Amino acid sequence: MAETKPILGANHGAAGGGRSSFADTYVMDFEKPVAELERKIAEMRSLATGSGMKSLSVEIDRMEKKAAHMRQEVYRNLSPWQKVQIARHPRRPYTLDYVTRICDSWLELHGDRGFADDHAMVAGMASIGGIDVMLIGHQKGRGTKDNLFRNFAMANPEGYRKALRFMRLAAKFRRPVITLIDTPGAYPGLGAEERGQAEAIARNLYEMARLPVPIVGIVIGEGGSGGALAISVTDEIHILEYAIYSVISPEGCASILYRDAGQAPQAAESLRLTAPDLLKFNIVDGIIAEPSGGAHNDPDVAAANVKAQILTSLDRLIPLPEDRLLAARHKKYEKIGFWLDH
């Protein structure tokens, strides 16, 4: 592959690495006690450097340990609804944030060749750990303007067709496909229906079922129903520890089944959308650990873990002959379900 520099999406100005710029601006309720303590630590630290009082550093150390411990405790006992909030955290790393961290090179490519370039779906040629891959993912935006540009990662039919075009391109040149999944769902709009949202999703499921190259999927944030599944028919799919994957949003489920969107926390429990539940029901093949306090607290660590999993999966899948690869993919999906014969 030609030497390429990372081409950054429009959101990258705001999304730069490092703990502080990523995590500071948005705090969820259950994170508040920790955030408060961390704010105090920061205050003390500026005081300590300002006045040169070394004695403070012992106290700072102690408080930092306490904060780390508190964060661990909070994250150990998260409810499904809290995980939903983390999965949707506006500071959570998105597809292009992973791209900059896991790819040695990246050349973004655009368009579905039929209607438009859907900015909710990004695709490009990448090299990960020396392996050339086609990387495809939903792309959320950071901030209002960027989110409008990305349509909140809710793809239109042309987004799924764009994804499919690059999968076919990957197949033509025998390159594995990596998909990063992070969408509230397929866009429910007028134009989307006109241009065949259902057909576009169905086509992807069908074509992914027969794509003759390895496909590895990672749910990095929100796996929203059919819009997520449309790039998720894979040989292996892994999910980040606090990411979710659900047949319907908890709010949608609550308003239909409980007739009250306010029951979303309850619906989040019932839907079994957390990583451990999904593993239990064989919906995902594995869970990727997140750094303490979630991926948004240390995107570099999250990305390193994602990269390691991609390389492990590719290591297993690339040597498989095409017929065995496809047979195993088919078998994996044929097995999913629970029924009684009598």
Q: Which residues, in sequence order, are CB contacts of 213 under 8 Å at separation 6+?
A: 170, 171, 174, 175, 176, 177, 325
Q: Is 339 in the site for other proteins (CB under 8 A)?
A: yes
Alpha helix positions (H), 195-258: 197-210, 225-229, 250-253
Q: Is 272 in the site for other proteins (CB under 8 A)?
A: yes
Q: Is 340 in the site for other proteins (CB under 8 A)?
A: yes
Q: Does residue 107 sit in helix, strand or coil? A: strand
- Which is closer to other proteins, CB of 45 or CB of 272? 272
Options 13, 21, 49, 206; binder of other proteins; rule CB under 8 A? 206
Options 37, 44, 68, 202; binder of other proteins; rule CB under 8 A? 202
Options 247, 261, 304, 320; binder of other proteins; rule CB under 8 A? 247
- Which is closer to other proteins, CB of 256 or CB of 318? 256
Long-range contacts of 7-12 (CB under 8 A, 24+ apart): 7/106, 7/107, 7/108, 7/124, 8/96, 8/100, 9/96, 9/108, 9/122, 9/139, 10/141, 10/146, 10/149, 11/94, 11/96, 11/139, 11/141, 11/142, 11/143, 11/146, 11/150, 12/96, 12/97, 12/100
Residues 34, 42: Cα–Cα separation, whole Å: 12
Write the CA distances from 121 to 166, 180, 201, integer angstroms.
11, 10, 13
Dihedrals phi, psi of 230, to nearest 5 degrees? -60, -15
Options 188, 212, 262, 276; binder of other proteins; rule CB under 8 A? 188
Q: Residue 24 Cβ, how far from other proteins at the closest point, in Å?
A: 32
Q: Residue 130 Cβ, how far from other proteins at the closest point, in Å?
A: 31
Q: Is 242 in the site for other proteins (CB under 8 A)?
A: no
Options 186, 215, 264, 314; binder of other proteins; rule CB under 8 A? 186
Q: Is 29 in the site for other proteins (CB under 8 A)?
A: no
Q: Residue 126 Cβ, how far from other proteins at the closest point, in Å?
A: 25
Dihedrals phi, psi of 123, to nearest 5 degrees? -150, 150
Options 59, 61, 193, 322; binder of other proteins; rule CB under 8 A? 193
Q: Is 123 in the site for other proteins (CB under 8 A)?
A: no
Options 105, 147, 270, 292; binder of other proteins; rule CB under 8 A? 270
How many residues are given for the chain?
Answer: 342
Q: How big is the site for other proteins, counted in residues (CB under 8 A)?
A: 54
- Which is closer to other proteins, CB of 26 or CB of 333? 333
Tell me which residues touch other proteins (CB under 8 A): 186-190, 192-199, 201-203, 205-206, 209-210, 225-226, 229-230, 232-233, 245-248, 253, 256-259, 267, 270-273, 278, 281, 283, 329-330, 333-334, 336-342
